[in-house]
Amino acid sequence: MSRKPKVLLTEPVFREVHELLEKYFELHVGKRGQFNHANTLRDAISRYDGLLCMLSNPVNSTVLSNASILKVVANYAVGYNNIDLAACRSHNIRVANTPDVLTETTADGTVALLLSTVKRITESERFLREGCFDGWSPTAFLGLELNGATAGIIGMGRIGQAVAKRLRAFGMKIIYSNPNRLPESVENELQARWFEDPIQLASRADVISLHCPLNTRTHHLVDSDFLDAMQPGAYLINASRGPVVDELALAKALHEKRIAGAGIDVYEFEPEVNELLLTAPNAVLIPHITSATKPTRLKMGMLAAGAIAKTLCGADYPCNFIA
């Protein structure tokens, strides 16, 4: 009788995902945070044919040095900056992620974060809860008027375009920055104007929303120079990847009121957050939840689990391989 393949799921997720994996494999489920360090994952990985991991789990050369039978890594995320793709390829390990299924939900969450930030919802709620509210004032908590304002989107992929469509409904003008310009038909549909240089966009936008992948080009894309180029009354929204923003530079800009505010869902050294950023009253900080609905997160899990089932036993499930 052949050996049943073993799969490591680094932390508990939805019952349906567990059941799919248990149908084909001997499933081992870790505890939340157990495999957030490469040495811990390296020590465990030698026993497994498949790995379903989170963004917080590093899959690098240290881990793969002990991955003697590992054939597939499925990331419970669209992003995969936690995975060394070149190292996986050198070990003939397939890598999958979970695109498409979270586009609309992430766009909804991004707009919710944007509205909370530019309308100063969180800041004013804190003011009320602390007992400071003494009645209506015509000058209290003045925010950005969206109709006629300019939204700058950096990274006009699926999610960026979905955000642009929603912001157009508020009457906002759309400008964007991508390495490559969108087709004219898409620009016309979104009524969007292209800027190749993100700094040019920064100086023209009332609110900037980041939706670019993390790579060598975008690491610390938002740095001191970028923040200095922004308008003094502008806002920054980041629901892409934490290291796209130099967190310390952002925290200083917020405290010095060089920009009006920021809404942040992802962090440079997640789950750690810069102490100076935590104390910025004009920052809305949420814990990586812009895609947080059960239908979306379940679809992500099933897509990742399907990639493992397809690789290890040829089962016919939807999946997306990137290596």
What the block records as the tokens of 82 is 């936690």
**DSSP summary character for residue 2:** P
Q: For the chain, how big is the Rg over CA atoms in Å?
A: 22
**Quick count: other Cβ atoms within 10 Å of Cβ 179?**
9
270 is catalytic: yes
> In DSSP terms, which residues pair with 284 in a beta bridge?
263
Q: How far apart are CA 196 and CA 144, in angstroms?
A: 26
32 is catalytic: no
CB 161 within 8 A of CB 209: no
Strands 235-238 vs 207-210: parallel, antiparallel or unpaired: parallel
Residue 207's φ and ψ, nearest 5 degrees, are: -145, 135
Strands 72-75 vs 50-53: parallel, antiparallel or unpaired: parallel
* Catalytic option among 120, 241, 268, 297: 241
Does an H or E element contain 70, and which? none
Residue from 211, 194, 275 nearest 245 by CA: 211
Strands 94-97 vs 320-321: parallel, antiparallel or unpaired: antiparallel
CB 177 within 8 A of CB 194: yes
What the block records as the tokens of 196 is 């190749």
Task: Give the active site residues.
Answer: 241, 270, 288
